[in-house]
Amino acid sequence: MLLSTWTKGLLSSVLTAALCLPGSQATAASAQEQLQGFVSKVQAATGNFSQYTVGAQGQTKPAQSGQFAFQRPGRFKWDVLKPYAQQIVSDGQQLFQFDPDLNQVTVRKVDQAIGSSPAAILFGSGSLEQSFTVTALQDKDGLSWLRAKPRNGEAGFVHVDLGFSGGLPARIILLDAFGQNTHIELSGLVPNPTVAVEVFRFVPPPGADVVRMQ
């Protein structure tokens, strides 16, 4: 399930403040309004991310960093570069999770993998309210926050908090079913670039063990 990938630090999501909505409306808008504007106005993007996970007992796991690209609906590439290479690629139909150290590829259908996961919030194009209950949180750290709770009790996570600035998500905090918090910072956004479809194609390397999930 894609969710476990997020909580283990193999995935996450998008973007920091290089795109602004017109005038002062962006700063005055609620987090929900900024999310709606982001989903409707940003159809593709590239950028950088860094993330770390804090365990239920307070222990911090090693940080990861890398690059991402996405194109609605459902195409994305989450490329972990440090400290160890890992990739998650979706072509809109199938999702490929590649671990170079194990030379193993796990393949899932996209609708099974991201339907009610945090990826659906940022990479999808459907109605957020169909899969999540969204509530406003208090502003914090200069960001406007909202909390999305999955309507599906089997989603595998408790909630995800998104902090917005200038009409874009700048920080993501996900609480999983094991009490772990994954913190994601987003930077270097290029909004609505021309992204070649080949970016979202994945071909398993020779000799890789391919596991297809039903």
pLDDT digits (tens, 9 = 90+) for 176-199: 989 999 999 999 888 899 999 999
Positive or negative CA dihedral for 101, 50, 88, 108?
Answer: positive
Q: Considering the domain boundaries, does residue 211 fall inside one?
A: no
How far apart (Å, rounded) are the C-alpha atoms in residues 126 and 120? 8
DSSP conformational letter for 43: S
How many Å apart are CA 44 and CA 14, to the nearest integer?
Answer: 10
Domain membership of residue 199 (yes or no) is: yes
Taking the C-alpha atoms of residue 152 and residue 115, their distance in angstroms, rounded to an integer, is: 10
User: pLDDT, tens digit, for every residue of 22-39?
Assistant: 332 333 478 988 888 888
Residues 20 and 22: their CA atoms lie apart, in Å, by 6
pLDDT at 9: 36
Residue 69, pLDDT score: 93
Positions in the chain short of pLDDT 50: 1-28
Tell me how far apart the alpha carbons of residues 35 and 86 are, in angstroms, rounded to a whole number. Answer: 28
Q: What is the pLDDT at residue 3?
A: 37
- CATH number, position 32: 2.50.20.10
Is 119 domain-assigned? yes
Bridge partners for 49 per DSSP: 66, 186
Number of Cβ within a 10 Å radius of residue 22? 7
CB atoms within 10 A of CB 51: 23
Task: Report how far Cα 80 is from the mean position of its chain's Cα atoms.
Answer: 13
| pLDDT at residue 92, rounded to an integer | 87
> What total of structural domains would you count in the chain?
1
Burial of 83 from C-beta contacts in 10 A (0-12 / 13-18 / 19+): exposed
Residue 66 located in a structural domain: yes
Nearest C-alpha neighbor of 143 from the set 171, 128, 173, 163: 163
- 209 domain-assigned: no
Q: What is the pLDDT of residue 199?
A: 95
Domain that holds residue 191: 2-203
Residue 174 lies in a domain: yes
- Residue 210 located in a structural domain: no
Residue 94 lies in a domain: yes
